[in-house]
């Protein structure tokens, strides 16, 4: 495990003038082009200077005026507008990230074969920054051997081609081919700007199980014991693993309403610690990697009352608690040979020691291979988009995880996992 803190992956790439990064947003001609407007809004609101380059056919779905108004930048589709500016070279060279969403089957084919027959494909040829292609098309087109080959070729060159979601496509058909939601694409865009590096497909063929969210332990039909976990870190781990090629199952307890389910991930819903335990033990049996990112309630009401507990003059009812099983410890005990188990530790530090001291003790107690240690407290980790901490290894390794998006922390955890799987 590396022990440096790798200082070049801070909160985003910046140009030499210190301004916000240049992002090129390519839009190809598919019905999902309307979702590019929401992606554009998210990118500009998070401070990026965005230049939209649609293809001619994209303008059948969304007008140039919409992209110009939302980006505050002119919109061109061909290389013969503003010739003295040599836009196809300048835009590609200046870009710190190129995102194409949606990327149609035709766009993937043209990009894979180095065509430069419009401003977008010419820009893809001149860009030397990370490139993120977000396919959206009918299932048959996505599964066609021609498209599969084009995707494989692009990925072999370090282009990040997201796997599409399964779900409703245009009309009545459903299946893989749906463009991931703008929030998810924006998360990957930020991750590539932070990493300044491609996302390798180095988990291809691996089976990964991730738990996320906070369990809720019912007291009566309207009350529960719960915690503040939003599930964001677990979702980010699942999202990044699936786009690194893994087959991912996300076992989720209660999560924040605004979280978007990761594309191409299998979901298992649970509520209580007992349900989460049952699902995790079943799913982990055939997994290569198991990550316990869920916040499991340590205690539950000893008894769940079938009716709503009423107020009474004699004061509140006595609350008696029972201890929940430690799922992580059980997963470690029952793991098949070769499986890696990763835990999380939420620590505040106290008079007995700091956050890292408690983290190291927890790693020994739980027996897992890696432990992500987060400092928690007011405004830290829980319900926040960003995270930081340390990754501790059972072999004594310690890696600082500098502040960044939860997707960045997830990608560093997967880097360490891949190094150990190999
Ligand atoms: N965990 C678990 N089952 C529990 C409690 C925790 O599997 N009943 C897992 C969490 O998912 C996490 C790790 O154990 O991966 C550490 O959780 P944390 O809440 O930090 O620690 P606890 O074990 O609850 O210990 P303490 O509250 O004393 O810090």
162: nearest Cα among 170, 174, 154:
154
How far is the C-alpha of 367 from the C-alpha of 380, rounded, in Å? 26
For residue 369, report the distance from its CA to the centre of ligand 1, in Å: 15
Ligand 1, residue 366: give the atom nearest the CA.
14
Is 22-195's fold the same as 207-421's? Answer: yes
Q: What pLDDT is recorded for position 381?
A: 64
φ, ψ for residue 68, nearest 5 deg:
-65, -40
Q: What pLDDT is recorded for position 9?
A: 32
Residue 345 CB less than 6 A away from ligand 1: yes
To the question of domain 22-195 being in CATH 3.30.420.10, the answer is no
Long-range (24+ apart) CB contacts under 8 A made by 179-183 are 179/30, 179/32, 179/35, 179/101, 179/102, 179/134, 179/135, 179/136, 180/134, 180/262, 180/263, 181/35, 181/260, 181/263, 182/35, 182/36, 182/38, 182/39, 182/42, 182/101, 183/42, 183/260
Q: What pLDDT is recorded for position 17?
A: 43
How far is the C-alpha of 412 from the C-alpha of 399, rounded, in Å? 9
Residue pair 404/194 in contact by the 8 Å Cβ criterion:
yes
Residue pair 177/142 in contact by the 8 Å Cβ criterion:
yes
Query: What residue has token string 């932070």?
Result: 194
Q: 82: Cβ–Cβ under 8 A, 6 or more apart, which residues?
A: 76
For residue 302, with 0-12 CB atoms within 10 Å meaning exposed, 13-18 middle and 19 or more buried, which class applies?
Answer: exposed
Q: What six digits make up the tokens of 101?
A: 């969403």
Q: What six digits make up the tokens of 24?
A: 């090129």
Q: What pLDDT is recorded for position 382?
A: 67
pLDDT digits (tens), the chain, 422 positions: 433 333 333 333 344 444 567 999 999 999 999 999 999 999 999 999 999 999 999 999 999 999 999 999 999 999 887 777 777 788 999 999 999 999 999 999 999 999 999 999 999 999 999 999 999 999 999 999 999 999 999 999 999 999 999 877 666 677 899 999 999 999 999 999 999 888 999 999 999 999 999 999 999 999 999 998 999 999 999 999 999 999 999 999 999 999 999 999 999 999 999 999 999 999 999 999 999 999 999 999 999 999 999 988 788 888 999 999 999 999 999 999 999 999 999 888 899 999 999 999 999 999 999 999 998 876 666 667 788 999 999 999 999 999 999 999 999 999 999 999 97
The domain ranges of the chain are 22-195, 207-421
Of 6, 60, 150, 227, which one is the catalytic site residue?
227
Q: What six digits make up the tokens of 305?
A: 């009352």
The SS3 call for residue 69 is helix
DSSP secondary structure string for all residues of 132-184: EEEE---HHHHHSHHHHHHHHHHHHTT-EEPPPEEEE-STT-EEEEEPPPHHH
Annotation marks residue 227 as catalytic: yes
User: How many other C-beta atoms are found inside a 10 Å radius of the C-beta of residue 413?
Assistant: 25
Residue 130 CB less than 6 A away from ligand 1: no
How far is the C-alpha of 214 from the C-alpha of 324, rounded, in Å? 14
Residue 288 CB less than 6 A away from ligand 1: no
Q: What pLDDT is recorded for position 198?
A: 83
Q: Atom 6 of ligand 1 has which residue's CA nearest to it?
A: 296
Answer whether the bond into residue 102 is a cis peptide, omega within 30°.
Answer: yes
Residue 341 CB less than 6 A away from ligand 1: no
Tell me, which fold does domain 207-421 have in CATH?
A: Rossmann fold (3.40.50)
Q: Which helix (H) or strand (E) holds 273?
A: helix 273-284
């Amino acid at each position: 495990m590396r022990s440096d803190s790798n200082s070049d992956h801070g909160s985003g790439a910046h140009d030499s003038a210190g301004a916000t990064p240049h992002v090129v947003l390519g839009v190809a001609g598919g019905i999902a082009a309307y979702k590019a407007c929401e992606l554009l809004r998210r990118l500009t609101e998070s401070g990026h200077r965005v230049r939209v380059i649609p293809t001619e056919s994209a303008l059948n779905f969304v007008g140039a005026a919409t992209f110009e108004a939302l980006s505050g930048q002119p919109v061109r589709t061909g290389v013969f507008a503003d010739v003295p500016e040599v836009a196809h070279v300048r835009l590609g060279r200046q870009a710190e990230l190129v995102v194409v969403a949606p990327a149609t089957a035709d766009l993937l084919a043209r990009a894979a074969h180095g065509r430069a027959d419009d401003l977008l494909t010419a820009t893809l040829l001149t860009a030397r920054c990370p490139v993120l292609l977000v396919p959206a098309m009918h299932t048959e087109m996505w599964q066609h051997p021609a498209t599969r080959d084009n995707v494989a070729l692009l990925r072999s060159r370090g282009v990040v081609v997201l796997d599409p979601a399964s779900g409703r496509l245009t009309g009545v058909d459903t299946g893989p081919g749906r463009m991931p939601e703008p929030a998810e694409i924006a998360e990957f865009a930020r991750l590539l700007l932070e990493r300044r590096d491609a996302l390798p497909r180095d988990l291809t063929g691996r089976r990964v199980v991730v738990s996320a969210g906070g369990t809720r332990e019912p007291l009566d039909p309207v009350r529960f014991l719960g915690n503040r976990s939003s599930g964001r870190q677990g979702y980010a781990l699942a999202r990044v693993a699936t786009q690194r090629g893994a087959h991912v199952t996300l076992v989720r307890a209660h999560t924040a309403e605004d979280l978007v389910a990761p594309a191409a991930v299998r979901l298992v819903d649970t509520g209580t610690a007992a349900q989460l335990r049952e699902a995790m033990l079943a799913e982990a049996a055939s997994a290569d990697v198991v990550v316990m990112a869920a916040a499991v309630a340590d205690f539950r009401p000893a008894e769940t009352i079938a009716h709503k507990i009423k107020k009474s003059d004699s004061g509140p009812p006595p609350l008696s608690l029972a201890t929940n099983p430690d799922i992580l410890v059980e997963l470690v005990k029952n793991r098949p040979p070769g499986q890696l188990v990763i835990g999380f530790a939420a620590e505040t530090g106290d008079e007995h020691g700091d956050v890292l001291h408690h983290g190291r003790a927890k790693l020994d107690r739980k027996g897992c291979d890696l432990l992500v240690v987060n400092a928690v407290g007011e405004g830290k980790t829980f319900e926040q988009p960003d995270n930081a901490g340390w990754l501790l290894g059972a072999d004594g390794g310690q890696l600082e995880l500098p502040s960044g998006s939860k997707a960045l922390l997830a990608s560093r955890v997967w880097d360490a996992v891949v190094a150990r799987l190999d």
